[in-house]
Structure 1
């Protein structure tokens, strides 16, 4: 596997210096300081989950339980610095980040939404912080980065669904030597969770974490409207995973288009099988029709094999599937699910920055110890982004999910999130 990864990179570099030769990114390097950027992202998140059947009880200080109700509210700040590359044949640079959270509300009797870590007395942390960085090298249009980083591969993806993102530690090579083709290969040896400030905290204290994950991927833009990608991972003592994506857009008129998006995974356990006996194939196909301000989507997703689709130790975002929605992923053993979705962009009606989304997903045929299981979820979302003024790009977002199931121990949930986010370019 490692030989294949390096040979793919070598092939791209070789091709980029022959008939595909053209001005590279490194040729245009202005310097370490001159190309530097510094951004900040401030996020405020209020989140509550009401487990309607009292599931997931949370212990309260002094004894007793708060029946199934979880409520948290916090503020986070993420500063991200990216230097430029030094001039010359091989450019050198660094990336660095500093991030932290402050708890605004949510006691020991109500915590459990994944916003804050838990102290030894059972109460949530009041503040948390973390810093990290990576060194990077660029030759032509190939970049090697080593250190702490955020990753967005379909087989290894750091999650950013709460206050702070997960952070991976390792090496990643990305090559864009051939126009339309992007190759990547990497090895990661640690992954910190969204609330775990330690270097390798993805599975919590006392639990086996990430041993090592080797990944490789390729994406190619066949035409302006058709792109395809493949990726694979080998997570030591957990599993091997393969992924494929095909995405095609068919323009119909100036304001109309059809889009088809196919995603598929195959996962097989290996070694010590720290995630259990995993044997799963899962795929989804979504078709979206855009008509001016409106978009209508239908999707089907199907899981087969001897287990459910497994992810997490390879990043909480490693599920690039159509029916992975706000609360459920609809990825249970043998599950089949359908989705209907509607999006509305209010810019066409004179309110730029305002959008709405509603979707319904229903899954059945779930294999459980008690027979067939079923689940369904209704999501509603609205978002507004300021278009101008001193607070330009400040966004407000409301997300609501109503989830019901006959399996999963009857964990019916109402999930509400209110998110305010302000990105700022400092340099």
Structure 2
């Protein structure tokens, strides 16, 4: 795996530089390395008569993550490296397009293999950290997507600070995005809107009011496309005896930026979860207001309570609700085995051809992580989804993911 060798040389070069400054102790002692192995099957059946029959692919991915510690002194410096390769095992007789592998335009199928290399420089003062280069992170206004063989990455700068008591501050700039199944960084666009931008700026913070209550606020701009304000509240109420109620409230207001087309969206959502022992019962409501759907960077994950396996339920004027159930089989003596099922229903969608748009999606996840023995930490997950809509695609989908993380040091 040549890409892993390249990362190794980069990492060794960085540690040699640290040693030359006489500050190698923390740089080495706090370093870590691991290799994620991900075997991924993706099968999607299209149920409407005017589309292709299916999209099926099976692939093997390797994700090498190397992280240094920080050099000694008032300002600590470090470097991280990320190397990823994906190999096609089967493409269902040329039926690609699942997002696991890059398209092969000559054969109308998928490429046999692809690789990515990412480097990140970092600096730290007290509890404030700055990273620059390849980024993978999740935030209410922009989140990296990790739902395929290899994760999606950003390029830019990210600042996190926890120096103020009970506050976490964050700010960042992104100029490029690299899709899950792409080897190249590209400019960004807005999902459902288009537009092209090479600048996304955001900032805000989280305030831990009490151990049970936190508040969040963000402001973000995809330059020349859209502006977005976000506010959130998370609260957990302990009822005692293993019972609790968790509330997750989210509000976003979006409008156009610069000369791009007019954008008008206000998204309100709330998820409420009642936990009793090993069971969790959840219910969510989500509502889109304004003339437009919810805008977010194409290829990233939108921070919406009803964003699930396939759909985001964020169309014009859409109203949606969700019911969800989770169970942890550790309570029955099978630690590592988990189950989740949910159903989301959306209506009141403004359709281009007139009439009311309606859609629903049902998901089921079953996962197991081996807890001991030679195969400890090997995980297997089956994700199943069904989608029906009177304005979009009717889909049946299965994903089977076998994963294992090897600690290198």
Q: TM-score, normalised by structure 2?
A: 0.89
Check whether the contact 1:200–1:209 (CA below 8 A) recurs between aligned residues: no
> Which runs of no fewer than 5 residues in structure 1 stay unpaired?
1-28, 58-66
- Once the two structures are superposed, residues 223-256 of structure 1 have per-residue CA deviations (whole angstroms, 9 ceiling, x without a partner) of 1111111111111121111111101000011311
Cα deviation for residue 272 of structure 1 reads 3.9
Aligned equivalents of 1:185 and 1:269: distance in 2? 21
| Aligned-partner SS, 1:245 | strand
**Aligned counterparts, 1:157-176, within 5 A:** 157-176=143-162
**Counterpart check, 1:133 vs 2:112:** no
**Counterpart check, 1:44 vs 2:39:** yes
Select the residue among 359, 365, 373 that pairs with 1:381.
365
Q: Assess, with a 3 A threshold, how the Cα gap between structure 1 residues 103 and 210 changes in structure 2: closer, same or farther.
A: farther
Cα deviation for residue 377 of structure 1 reads 1.1
Match of 2:394 in 1: 412
Match of 2:20 in 1: none
| Aligned-partner SS, 2:29 | coil
Aligned equivalents of 2:187 and 2:109: distance in 1? 19
Check whether the contact 2:55–2:92 (CA below 8 A) recurs between aligned residues: no
- Once the two structures are superposed, residues 76-102 of structure 1 have per-residue CA deviations (whole angstroms, 9 ceiling, x without a partner) of 111011100000010010011110100
**Aligned counterparts, 1:65-84, within 5 A:** 67-84=52-69
Check whether the contact 1:264–1:321 (CA below 8 A) recurs between aligned residues: no
Cα deviation for residue 199 of structure 1 reads 2.0
Q: Assess, with a 3 A threshold, how the Cα gap between structure 1 residues 202 and 147 changes in structure 2: closer, same or farther.
A: same
Match of 1:200 in 2: 186
Superposed CA RMSD: 1.8
- Once the two structures are superposed, residues 259-303 of structure 1 have per-residue CA deviations (whole angstroms, 9 ceiling, x without a partner) of 111112212122242xx5432111211111000011101110000
Cα deviation for residue 202 of structure 1 reads 5.7
**Counterpart check, 1:264 vs 2:246:** no
Q: TM-score, normalised by structure 1?
A: 0.86
Q: Assess, with a 3 A threshold, how the Cα gap between structure 1 residues 420 and 340 changes in structure 2: closer, same or farther.
A: same
208-217 or 367-376: bigger deviation: 208-217
Check whether the contact 2:195–2:225 (CA below 8 A) recurs between aligned residues: no
Match of 1:331 in 2: 314
**Counterpart check, 1:235 vs 2:217:** no
Select the residue among 100, 103, 116 that pairs with 2:88.
103
Select the residue among 167, 176, 184 that pairs with 1:190.
176
| Aligned-partner SS, 1:222 | strand
Aligned equivalents of 1:131 and 1:108: distance in 2? 30
Aligned equivalents of 2:211 and 2:123: distance in 1? 30
> Which runs of no fewer than 5 residues in structure 2 stay unpaired?
1-23
Size of the aligned set, in residue pairs, is: 381
Cα deviation for residue 165 of structure 1 reads 1.0
Match of 1:343 in 2: 326
**Counterpart check, 1:291 vs 2:291:** no
Q: Assess, with a 3 A threshold, how the Cα gap between structure 1 residues 187 and 344 changes in structure 2: closer, same or farther.
A: same
- Once the two structures are superposed, residues 98-145 of structure 1 have per-residue CA deviations (whole angstroms, 9 ceiling, x without a partner) of 101001111574111111111231221110001110111111111111
| Aligned-partner SS, 2:149 | coil
Match of 1:17 in 2: none
